[in-house]
Amino acid sequence: MTGVRETSSRTPLRSGGWVEGDPSGDRQFLDLGPLDLERGGALPAVRVAYETWGTLAADGSNAVLVEHALTGDSHVVGPTGPGQPTPGWWDGLIGDGAPLADRFVVCANVLGGCQGTTGPSSTAPDGRPWGSRFPAVTIADQVAVERRLAEALGVDRWSAVIGGSMGGMRALEWAVAHPNRVERLFFLASGAVATADQIGTQTTQQTAVTTDPRWAGGDYAAGEGPVAGLGTARRIAHLTYRSAEELETRFSTVVQPDGRFAVASYLDHHAAKLAARFDAGSYVVLTEAMNTWDVGRGRGGVEAALARVTATAVVGGIDSDRLYPVAEQQRVADGLGVPLRVVPSPYGHDGFLVEVEAVGALVRELLAAPAGGLPSAR
């Protein structure tokens, strides 16, 4: 696997992620210069990795921004290949006959990530990885990077901004911070502000990473990464991504021939997969960005911030989501004056990715609607 040396199929020597010198795959790169950060400080230079599909119309009217979730990246759809060890994470969204057919689609790896955009594993001006010196970033900072990318691509106004989970946060930040640049908004399986439950879960995941002896204060080297801690963090997270009912149906109390509970083996599998493709420093930085998420910060509160949105909006939730319960999407729907669209699914939070047909239908509905053309809940 690119950028990762392994001692077995389950135990990589370091946490993964794209590293300089790896094949670029379908990534494109853009250097954006320095960036001042919301919580203070600055990055002297930011590079963003992104992918595009389709062609931008002459009048720029067909541009769509897709926002990835915590451990996603710019590879929305497509196969594995050199420099791209995982297939697209939102299969069925882009391509012939798909909801985003005939659109110019952009997806950028998020600031603080580990798939080509500047993050903790990137090289700092002194030639060493940023590591523990990488500053705290927020959802607003990540959108600031995407705004510069849009300008470089010649996109003055997005026909739609689409995102679920952490991607939903950025989609909503776009619609609030830049209402004149967003024509349509798809906000899915997310919230307007971090809750105590989410912060508690995510800080516990961070502790799992940072108490691994190989964390080394965030300045671990290749061959010494906190793989065990990152794997534990993923196990905790994955339990919030799926529903209790699904886990019971699939695994119950079954014990495998190797002595492990089947559900534990399932979590081990996902822990190893993430450690092989994701950087532990990025995991800590990005979960902290989620912890500090509040669309109403500095804007008079959540409802005042939502009142700034002029985009036609679809707000959707997953009925079995225990990480972002539908009450959180209901608050956003109420603030935007639209009905909440609830997708039934046994898969919990991950239903926003699994229920391709139902979610795709909502995307099609949004794109077919003129500005202000969807029914209002007000």
Active site residue 294: no
Residue 22: partners with Cβ closer than 8 Å, 6 or more residues away: 2, 3, 83
Name 344's Cβ contacts closer than 8 Å, sequence gap at least 6. Answer: 319, 320, 358
**Do residues 140 and 177 make contact, with C-beta atoms less than 8 angstroms apart?**
yes
Strand partners of residue 318: 343
DSSP string, 236-270: HHHHHHS-HHHHHHHTTT-B-TTS-BHHHHHHHHH
Pairwise CA distance, residues 14 & 12, whole Å: 6
CA distance 67 to 46: 18
Q: Using CA of residue 174, residue 177, residue 181, residue 186, what is the dihedral sign?
A: positive
Task: Name residue, tokens 């062609």.
Answer: 55
97 Ramachandran zone, left/alpha/beta (phi>0; psi -120 to 50):
left
321 is catalytic: yes
Identify the residue whose tokens are 């776009």. Answer: 174
Q: Is 172 exposed, middle or buried (0-12, 13-18, 19+ CB in 10 A)?
A: buried
Candidate list 178, 321, 345, 350, residue with the active-site label: 321
Residue 196: half-sphere exposure toward Cβ, Cα within 13 Å: 0
248: Cβ–Cβ under 8 A, 6 or more apart, which residues?
A: none
Joined together, the tokens standing for residue 207 give 């502790």
Cα gap 43→37, rounded to integer Å: 8
Cα–Cα distance, 181 to 159 (Å, whole number): 9
SS3 content of the chain, % helix, strand, coil (to 5): 35, 15, 45
Among residues 165, 190, 243, 345, which one is catalytic?
165
Q: How far is CA 17 from CA 216, 225, 248, 296, in A?
A: 18, 12, 32, 32
Catalytic residue numbers read: 165, 321, 349
